[in-house]
Amino acid sequence: MNEKNIIWKDRVYCGEISLDDVKSRVKLMGWIDAMRDHGHIIFIHLRDITGIVQIVIDSEENKELYESAVHLREEYIIEVKGKVRKRAKGTENPNIKTGEIEIVVDDIILHSNSKTLPFQISEKAMVYGEEFMGSPAHVDEDLRLQYRYLDLRRPSVQERFVKRHKINKIIRDYLDKQNFLELETPVLTRSTPEGARDYLVPSRIHQGKFYALPQSPQLFKQLFMMSGMERYFQIVKCYRDEDLRPNRQPEFTQLDLEASFIDEEFIYELIEGLLKKIFAIGGIKLKPPFRRMTYADAMNLYGSDAPDLRFGMTFKDATEILKNTGYTIFKRVIKNHGYVKGFCIKEKATDLTKNILQNEYAMKIVQTFGAKGMSWMRMVNGELESSIAQFFTQKELDDLKKLFEAEEDNVIVLVAETSLDLTNRILGRLRFHIANRLGIIPKNKFAAVWVTEFPMFELVDETVTPLHHPFTSPDRTDFNTSDINDLLSLKSRAYDIVVNGEELGGGSIRINNMSLQKKIFEALGLTQKEIEAKFGFFLKALEYGAPPHGGLALGLDRVVSMVLQTQSIRDVIPFPKNRSAVCPLTEAPSTVDDLQLQELNIGLSRDLQTGTSREAAGKQDTSSQKQIGLSDEDVKKVASLARLKLGDADLANIKKDLNKIIDYVGQLEELDTKNVKPMHHVLNVKNVWRDDVPTSKDNSKAIIENGPVTDNNYFKVPRILED
What is the band of 127 on the pLDDT scale with cuts at 50, 70, 90? confident
Q: Is 342 a domain residue? A: yes
From 398, 420, 441, give the residue that closes a domain: 441
The answer to whether 285 and 277 have CB atoms below 8 angstroms apart is no
Distance of CA 45 to the CA centre of its chain: 34
In what helix (H) or strand (E) does residue 193 lie, and over which residues does it extend? none
Confidence of residue 161 (pLDDT cuts 50, 70, 90): very high
Domain count, the chain: 3
**619 band by pLDDT with thresholds 50, 70 and 90:** very low
Q: Let me know if residue 24 belongs to a domain.
A: yes
Angle between helices 295-302 and 420-438 (to 10 degrees): 60
Q: Which helix (H) or strand (E) holds 328?
A: helix 328-335
Distance CA 29, CA 47 (A): 8
Report the relative pairing of strands 375-380 and 339-345 from DSSP bridges: unpaired
Which residue did the predictor score with more confidence, 84 or 134? 84
* Residue 232: DSSP 8-state: E
* Torsion sign over Cα 338, 344, 348, 354: positive
The mean pLDDT value for 237-244 works out to 86
Taking residues 396-423, report their average pLDDT.
95
What's 227's domain CATH number? Answer: 3.30.930.10
**Between 549 and 674, the higher pLDDT residue:** 549
Q: What is the pLDDT of residue 654?
A: 85
When pLDDT is cut at 50, 70 and 90, the band that residue 675 belongs to is: low
237 against 676, higher pLDDT:
237
The stretch 187-209 carries a mean pLDDT of 86
Q: Is the pLDDT of residue 447 over 90?
A: yes
- CA-wise closest residue to 499 among 284, 297, 266: 284
Q: Render pLDDT for 207-234 as a digit per residue (tens, 0 to 9).
A: 999 999 999 999 999 999 999 999 999 9
Cα–Cα distance measured from residue 122 to residue 155, given in angstroms and rounded to the nearest whole number = 8
Most confident of 52-66, 184-198, 591-605: 52-66
Instruction: Respond yes or no on whether the N-terminal peptide bond of residue 118 is cis (omega within 30° of 0).
Output: no
Q: How confident is the model at residue 689 (pLDDT cuts 50, 70, 90)?
A: low
Instruction: For residues 52-78, give the mean pLDDT.
Output: 95
634 pLDDT tier (thresholds 50, 70, 90): confident
Instruction: Please name the residues in contact with 314: beta carbons below 8 A apart, sequence gap of 6 or more.
Output: 301, 302, 343
239 in a structural domain: yes
* Separation of first and last alpha carbons in the chain: 76
Q: If you average pLDDT over every residue of the chain, what do you get?
A: 88
Question: For residue range 93-118, what is the model confidence (pLDDT) as tens digits?
Answer: 998 999 999 999 999 999 999 999 99
The confidence score (pLDDT) of residue 614 equals: 42
In a domain, 233, yes or no: yes
The Cα–Cα gap between 418 and 109 comes to 76
* Spatial distance between the Cα atoms of 442 and 91, rounded to a whole number of angstroms: 39
How confident is the model at residue 632, as a pLDDT?
78
pTM: 0.80
Distance CA 152, CA 121 (A): 9
Residues 6+ apart with CB under 8 A from 53: 14, 15, 17, 28, 45, 46, 96, 98, 101, 102, 103
Is pLDDT above 80 for 82?
A: yes
Q: Which of 556, 587, 618 is the last residue of a domain?
A: 587
Give the Cα separation of 551 and 234 in Å (integer).
12
Q: Assess whether 190 and 244 both reside in one domain.
A: yes
If asked whether residues 18 and 104 sit together in one domain, one would say: yes
Q: Above pLDDT 70, what percent of the chain?
A: 86
Distance from C-alpha of 538 to C-alpha of 494, rounded to nearest angstrom: 21
| For range 655-672, the mean pLDDT | 73
Q: Are 401 and 439 in contact (CB under 8 A)?
A: no
Question: Same domain for 55 and 150?
Answer: no
Are 244 and 385 in a shared domain? no
Do 27 and 158 have their domain in common?
no
In a domain, 665, yes or no: no
> Same domain for 36 and 85?
yes
**Claim to verify: residue 407 and residue 317 sit in the same structural domain:** yes
Q: What's residue 328's pLDDT? A: 92
665 pLDDT band, cuts 50/70/90, is confident
State the CATH number of the domain containing residue 419. Answer: 3.30.1360.30
Using the predicted structure, report yes or no on whether residue 158 has a pLDDT greater than 90: yes
Domain with residue 40: its CATH number is: 2.40.50.140
Specify the pLDDT at position 686.
58
Is residue 690 assigned to a domain? no
* Domain end (from 412, 441, 470): 441
| 288 & 322 share domain | no
* 599 is a domain residue: no
Sign of torsion over alpha carbons 291, 296, 299, 304: positive
Coil, strand or helix at 157? helix
Q: Are 506 and 495 in contact (CB under 8 A)?
A: yes
Q: How far apart are CA 305 and CA 571, in angstroms?
A: 26
For 179, 180, 365, 552, the CA distances from 260, given in Å and listed in that order, are 12, 11, 49, 12
In this structure, are 258 and 164 located in the same domain? yes
With vertex at residue 567, the alpha carbon angle to CA 561 and CA 569, rounded to the nearest 5 degrees, is: 45
| pLDDT, position 624 | 38
Cα separation, 712 vs 185, in Å, equals 81
- The counts of H helices and E strands in the chain are 22, 22
Same domain for 206 and 318, yes or no, is no
pLDDT of 627 > 50? The answer is: no
- How large is the average pLDDT for residues 236-250? 85
Domain assignment present for residue 722? The answer is no
Same domain? For 61 and 108 the reply is: yes
pLDDT in tens, 560-589: 999 999 999 999 999 999 888 899 999 999
Any idea which of 225-229, 265-269, 481-485 has the lowest mean pLDDT?
Answer: 481-485
Residue 264 one-letter amino acid: E
Confidence (pLDDT) at 579: 84
Integer Cα distance of 193 and 528 in angstroms: 16
Nearest CA-CA partner of 432 in 368, 501, 505: 501
For 399, the domain range is: 311-441
Statement to judge: residues 194 and 238 lie in one domain: yes
Predicted local distance difference test score (pLDDT) of residue 670:
57
